[in-house]
């Protein structure tokens, strides 16, 4: 019995890593941060964090969002400085929206993502957004007393439902940056008189920092390349008839054209399923064929627009090479390291096929 007890205690000690037991904290004394913005500042970095609207008591009486801001020479020092600004224990474990300022993104986002990956409370599950034309602090503060969390949460949900831009977590972006050398991030801008947050395409990050933005048709092209149906209604004039169609599903097939082991070209086959949303009269026969050709041309233009920018930046942020490499894993493994450079000069042939469902 004594031997069993000794063994059990020994096992407990080993399982605890011989570091003692975790520390207890009361949730009632915590300020749960939900959104964090990181900007470049003269002192180093500036962090702006918001709790979102809070509730107090049984009836959940509303309290304004708590917004804290600190400037320090490092992220960890700024996070520590936030602790001193609040009357509660500032808990970072619930940060699920991370905004990066444009300036910071240009100087490189990897150190921030590194910190998120290593911190005990923070994690890579937060949604990552890039602010353009404004700072992350301004974006966080734009929510006022109600906080910006509601707006970001709506954008995130809409993105998942396919009615807004593709949303990405810090973990996905971190992985893409490490594996592909590039990643795309949804961009937010402050627009309108009420200075509310709006989507504005995507930013493309490289290991050194922000390489550029994709907007409008190029952003839609990026979504098609990523295999996501863009949240867009395409209207086509067919003589006296006007037809609107909306992409519903996209599938993309990539194939490397290898000559003597070297990639001479990349063939993309994009299949877009579209549903008719509005029309003056149902298109049939030649009208339907014409509609399909026009939609195919439009999708092709979007894809080519996106590809032109991405090739210029040498940023295969949607992983076209990796997708094509699945069919020839041996060759892909050989050229994988040089792919970012090869991607910029490889000839890409794109074939788009639209299937229309009435």
List residues binding another protein (CB under 8 A): 8, 12, 15-16, 21-28, 30, 32, 34, 54-58, 60, 91, 93-94, 96, 121, 123
- Measured from the CB atom, the residue of 121 and 278 that comes closer to another protein is 121
Helix axes 285-313, 216-225, angle to 10 degrees: 90
CA atoms within a 13 Å half-sphere pointing along the CA-CB vector of 26: 3
Which class for 339: exposed (0-12), middle (13-18), buried (19 or more C-beta within 10 A)? Answer: buried
**Token couple for 163:** 């009615």
Report in angstroms how near the CB of residue 349 gets to another protein at its nearest: 46
- Measured from the CB atom, the residue of 25 and 281 that comes closer to another protein is 25
- Measured from the CB atom, the residue of 43 and 121 that comes closer to another protein is 121
Which class for 311: exposed (0-12), middle (13-18), buried (19 or more C-beta within 10 A)? Answer: middle
- Name 88's Cβ contacts closer than 8 Å, sequence gap at least 6: 29, 30, 31
Length of the chain: 358
Instruction: State residue 78 phi and psi, 5-degree precision.
Output: -65, -40
- Measured from the CB atom, the residue of 15 and 161 that comes closer to another protein is 15
- Measured from the CB atom, the residue of 10 and 261 that comes closer to another protein is 10
Q: Which of 291, 300, 298 is nearest to 268 (CA)?
A: 300
């Amino acid at each position: 019995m004594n031997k069993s007890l000794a063994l059990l205690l020994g096992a407990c000690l080993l399982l605890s890593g011989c570091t003692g037991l975790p520390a207890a904290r009361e949730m009632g004394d915590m300020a749960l941060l939900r959104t964090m913005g990181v900007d470049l500042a003269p002192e180093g970095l500036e962090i702006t964090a918001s709790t979102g609207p809070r509730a107090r008591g049984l009836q959940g009486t509303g309290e304004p969002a708590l917004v804290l801001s600190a400037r320090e020479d490092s992220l960890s020092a700024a996070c520590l400085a936030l602790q001193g600004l609040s009357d509660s224990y500032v808990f970072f474990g619930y940060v699920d929206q991370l905004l990066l300022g444009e300036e910071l993104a240009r100087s490189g986002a990897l150190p921030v993502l590194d910190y998120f990956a290593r911190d005990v409370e923070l994690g890579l599950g937060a949604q990552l957004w890039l602010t353009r034309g404004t700072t992350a602090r301004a974006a966080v503060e734009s929510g006022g007393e109600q906080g910006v969390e509601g707006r970001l949460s709506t954008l995130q949900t809409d993105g998942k439902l396919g009615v807004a831009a593709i949303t990405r977590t810090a973990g996905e972006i971190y992985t893409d940056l490490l594996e592909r050398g590039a990643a795309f991030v949804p961009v937010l801008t402050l627009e309108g008189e009420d200075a509310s947050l709006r989507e504005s395409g995507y930013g493309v990050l490289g290991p050194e920092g922000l390489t550029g933005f994709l907007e409008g048709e190029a952003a839609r092209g990026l979504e098609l390349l990523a295999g996501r149906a863009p949240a867009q209604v395409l209207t086509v004039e067919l003589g006296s008839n006007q037809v609107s169609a909306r992409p519903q599903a996209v599938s993309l097939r990539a194939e490397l054209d290898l000559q003597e082991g070297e990639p001479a070209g990349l063939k993309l086959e994009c299949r877009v399923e579209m549903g008719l949303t509005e029309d003056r009269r149902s298109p049939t026969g030649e009208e339907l064929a014409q509609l399909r050709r026009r939609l195919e041309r439009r999708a092709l233009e979007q894809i080519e627009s996106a590809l032109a920018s991405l090739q210029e930046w040498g940023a295969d942020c949607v992983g076209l090479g990796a997708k094509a490499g699945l069919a020839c894993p041996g060759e892909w493994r050989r050229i994988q390291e040089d792919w970012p450079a090869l991607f910029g000069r490889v000839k890409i042939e794109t074939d788009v096929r639209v299937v229309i469902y009435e």
